[in-house]
Chains A and B, each alone.
Chain A
């Protein structure tokens, strides 16, 4: 628990903040709700109920795989769509009935609704491919836009970290499949650029509080930006993509250090590992020794930077 979270709880206990204000702050910051005190009334979902919910969800997924491998090939196309749609409706309804007044309840709700977004994409994809015989790009677009609608609505109703991730995936899927529908000759690097731009925008919007919870949103947005930069770094745009990656990694690390966000620092560190090897290979060509020396120098600079940062300020936990 961070200092800020502890302080906010104190303010809540002192009556300086209402329950609604506390809930809004918790949602915005991505904090779990406090466990009810002994003897307090439990109005939400207990850990046991949450576990049963996950078990049911896992069994539903296992059943889906069973259907996919064993039964779906024998079903008519309408039957496949109906089966996927039925599972999706079950997930949506189950998520809607879960109360979110407790942390386990919110988690269970977010998992069920994440499954419903995936189910919606599957249903729409089967519908487009099977019944309307659509092209692959059109199938992907219908699946991702359908998932985007469900992910957007469920995220607005329950602003969880998982909902944030699913919503970002749905946006990326919709944007890239729209590109494929508009022009099937677009080079893969431009899909990478689109993913990068969405990831960066998501990170900034999460930082500003538009796409809560803030910290998971910033981390997943940063990760998407790195993946986008990596996708951009294919010939003949490899230098452009690597440059984009280096700039992105730098911005993530600087942001992480300035904001005290360990999640961003970890994401940036992963980016350093991924891009420094590629950049060193580009610069030094086939010289393995030079690449190794370059990596050691980068690693040393990172360690020195981390030590300097740790002496300057206390880093907040993710």
Chain B
């Protein structure tokens, strides 16, 4: 092969490799994130109650036991209001039957990294967030964790497959139904968690874009974005509907300390 031929061949091969790589990246790597309209664009007067969610105050230190901020979204307006940020607030949260927030509290522990069960409980007043009252609970505080909110009263479960981009409803008889989602999504995009509304009419989902999405469980799901937290993984949330004690803990069972 002459030097001129070698140069031409090399340039063609190198250019071809780069062009093929660009094509692969554009076709398979530049898949857009599924878009859902904000609730303000698709309001639903049937939505009721309060949704609380908490995220790390400093997303750069999300894996550490740093300060977390609690936000509350009140339906039907759907405006997210930050009510408090505290070092003591842990990941899990739930509602009391009379509409106060109850969160994990690490305030009474001095260790830098408390163990999984080394937490107390604290009540937060959900409008102003000013009150922060440490309480105790005599029984197993499983109500805090979102797992039980994935099963409706009739036994139907809402779940997201690991790394999945589809929300699935599983009936007690074993049948499943895809509620909403998209097969075409970036490879690093998926839903993190799904849970039921207390009345079992809606599902609440958070994705890796940090979007909290609400969708109707029957008919057209019409998924809509309630809040954009910007957090990839560290979002926890809970829904309260006044007069509905599902997934709540009785206030009278909490003892002030």
A interface residues with partner B (beta carbon < 8 Å): 179, 182-183, 185-190, 193-194, 196-198, 200-202, 204-205, 207-210, 236-237
Q: How far is the CB of B166 from chain A (nearest CB, A)?
A: 16
Q: Which of B40-48, B129-137, B184-192, B243-251 lies at the interface?
A: B184-192
Shortest distance between the CB of B231 and any CB in chain A (Å): 15
Which residue from chain A places its CB closest to the CB of B31 in the assembled complex? A185
Binding site for A on B (CB under 8 A): 3, 6-7, 9-11, 13-15, 17-18, 20-22, 24-25, 28-33, 163, 186-189
Contact assessment for A208 and B21 in the assembled complex, using a CB-CB cutoff below 8 Å: no
Contact B25 A185 (CB under 8 A): no
CB neighbours (8 Å) of B3 from chain A are 209
Are A236 and B18 in touch, CB under 8 angstroms? no
In the complex, which residue of chain B has the Cβ closest to the Cβ of A237? Answer: B187
Q: What are 22 A-B contacts defined by CB distance under 8 Å? A: A179-B25, A179-B29, A182-B30, A183-B30, A185-B186, A185-B189, A186-B30, A187-B186, A187-B188, A190-B24, A190-B25, A190-B28, A193-B21, A193-B24, A197-B17, A200-B14, A204-B10, A205-B10, A205-B11, A208-B11, A210-B10, A237-B187
Alpha-carbon distance A185/B184, docked complex (angstroms):
13
Asked whether, in the complex, the Cβ of B29 is within 8 Å of the Cβ of A205, the reply is no
| Contact residue among B6, B21, B29, B31 (Cβ-Cβ distance under 8 Å from A197) | B21
Task: Give bound CA distance, A83 to B1, whole Å.
Answer: 52
Complex contacts, B163 vs chain A, CB 8 Å = 236
CB distance from B140 to the nearest CB of A (A): 35
CB distance from A19 to the nearest CB of B (A): 22
Residues of B within 8 A of A185 (CB): 31-33, 186, 188-189
A197 contacts B18, C-beta separation under 8 Å: yes
CA distance A87 to B13 in the complex (A): 40
Say what secondary structure dominates the interface of chain B: helix
What chain A residues lie within 8 Å of B7 (beta carbons)? 208-210
| Distance, CA A311 to CA B9, complexed state (A) | 31
Q: How far is the CB of B19 from chain A (nearest CB, A)?
A: 9
Residues of B with C-beta under 8 A to A198: 18
When chains A and B are docked, how far (Å) is the Cα of A27 from the Cα of B11? 20
Question: Chain A residues with Cβ under 8 A from B32's Cβ?
Answer: 183, 185
Contacts A190-B25, A194-B21, A209-B7 given: A204-B14 contact, CB under 8 Å? yes
Q: Once bound together, how far apart are the Cα atoms of A187 and B163, in whole Å?
A: 13
Give Cα distance in the complex from A12 to B17, angstroms.
Answer: 39
Q: A187-B187, A190-B25, A209-B3 are in contact. List 6 more A-B contacts (CB 8 A).
A: A185-B186, A185-B188, A189-B187, A197-B18, A210-B10, A210-B11
Check A187 against B17 for contact (C-beta < 8 Å): no
